[in-house]
């Protein structure tokens, strides 16, 4: 097995190579004078299981991922697995207004022609996997990895910032042996949310808010403020995908005691790897 890494996934790819015993492929990459992506796979892929680890976020990574996939398609590989650690545009998984695209489906249609299998992590909506027809698509949960990290940090309570992802908080609660619950979130617009007041027994407790994505930070900021209002002694924000749009990290550091995220998107808060979960899925679906 050989792993080829997109330019934003080198830490995860290295961890995955270590987990699986795969070799690490060599890619030459530069920019054309007009800034378009040039890349060339320098390793031999014939007869091998090829694992490309590459994101679709931000937009230029999507172009790079397509170029990498196309380069791989020129080889006589034995099987091709595309790992998209963070599947971008997943929150536009339906038309909210007439005339809009179903962006998550557009990505599925563009990506599915290349690999035999696509593996992604904590995709925002599982239904997106149904749009893959010519490739099999799988989602893995980072809950075990988040739970391991939270045990190490030390927390007393796990909370989902909205009802939509209560299953994640419950799963992490099960894995850590901690109580779990949810807050009630109302989204006003893309960057404004409000938490409904809720009575929770978090006084003097270390509470971990767990979410799939942190983007503007609005969800976590509001949840953290509500938890502090209820008397939580420490608030830890843990997510799989740390996008941290504009000044999100500054806003979060003002109300959270700690912010952690995985290596699906490398950033200053990356504190754990999803490589074990991805390695298990590569093996399970082989
Ligand atoms: C929403 O359904 C997601 O699970 C996240 O809570 C959301 O995407 C976070 O976005 P933001 O950080 O902008 O509030």
DSSP state of 215: S
Cα dihedral: 33, 37, 41, 47 (round 10): -150
Give residue-wise pLDDT tens across range 114-139.
999 999 999 999 999 999 999 999 99
Atom of ligand 1 nearest to the CA of 161: 6
> Is residue 278 classed as helix, strand or coil in its secondary structure?
helix
Give residue-wise pLDDT tens across range 156-166.
999 999 998 89
* CB-side neighbour CA atoms (13 Å) of 260: 21
The ligand 1 site (C-beta within 6 Å) comprises: 161, 164-165, 193, 211-219
Q: Which residues are catalytic?
A: 185
| pTM across the whole model | 0.95
Q: How far is the CA of 10 from the centre of ligand 1 (A)?
A: 25
Give residue-wise pLDDT tens across range 167-197.
999 999 999 999 999 999 888 887 788 888 7
- Candidate from 193, 212, 249 with most ligand 1 atoms within 8 A of CB, to mutate: 212
3-state helix, strand, coil in the chain (%, to 5): 35, 30, 40
User: Please, what are the domains in the chain?
Assistant: 2-141+274-284 (3.40.50.2020), 143-263 (3.40.50.2020)
| Residue partners of 34: CB distance under 8 A and separation at least 6 | none
Alpha helices in 154-274 (DSSP H): 166-176, 218-229, 248-253
Distances (CA, A) of 238 to 129, 224, 256: 25, 12, 10
pLDDT for 29 beyond 80: yes
């Amino acid at each position: 097995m050989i792993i080829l890494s997109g330019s934003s996934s080198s830490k995860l790819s290295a961890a995955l190579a270590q987990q699986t015993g795969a070799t690490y492929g060599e890619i030459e990459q530069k920019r054309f004078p007009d800034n378009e992506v040039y890349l060339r796979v320098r390793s031999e892929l014939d007869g091998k299981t090829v694992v490309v680890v590459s994101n679709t976020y931000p937009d230029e990574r999507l172009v790079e991922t397509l170029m990498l996939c196309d380069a791989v398609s020129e080889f006589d590989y034995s099987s091709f697995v595309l790992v998209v650690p963070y599947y971008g545009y997943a929150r536009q998984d339906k038309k909210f207004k007439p005339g809009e695209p179903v962006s998550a489906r557009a990505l599925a249609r563009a990506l599915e022609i290349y690999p035999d299998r696509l593996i992604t992590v904590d995709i925002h909506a599982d239904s997106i996997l149904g749009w893959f027809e010519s490739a099999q698509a799988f989602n893995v949960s980072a809950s075990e990895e988040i739970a391991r990290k939270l045990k190490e940090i030390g927390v007393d309570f796990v909370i989902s910032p909205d009802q939509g992802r209560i299953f994640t908080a419950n799963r992490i609660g099960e894995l850590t042996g901690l109580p779990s619950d949810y807050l009630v979130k109302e989204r006003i617009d893309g960057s404004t949310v409000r938490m409904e007041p809720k009575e929770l027994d978090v006084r003097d407790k270390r509470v971990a808010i767990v979410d799939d994505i942190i983007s503007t930070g609005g969800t976590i900021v509001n949840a953290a403020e509500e938890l502090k209002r209820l008397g939580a002694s420490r608030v830890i924000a843990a997510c799989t995908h740390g996008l941290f749009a504009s000044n999100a990290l500054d806003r979060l550091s003002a109300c959270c005691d700690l912010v952690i995220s995985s290596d699906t998107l490398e950033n200053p808060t990356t504190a754990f790897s999803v490589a074990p979960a991805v390695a298990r899925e590569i093996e399970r679906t082989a």
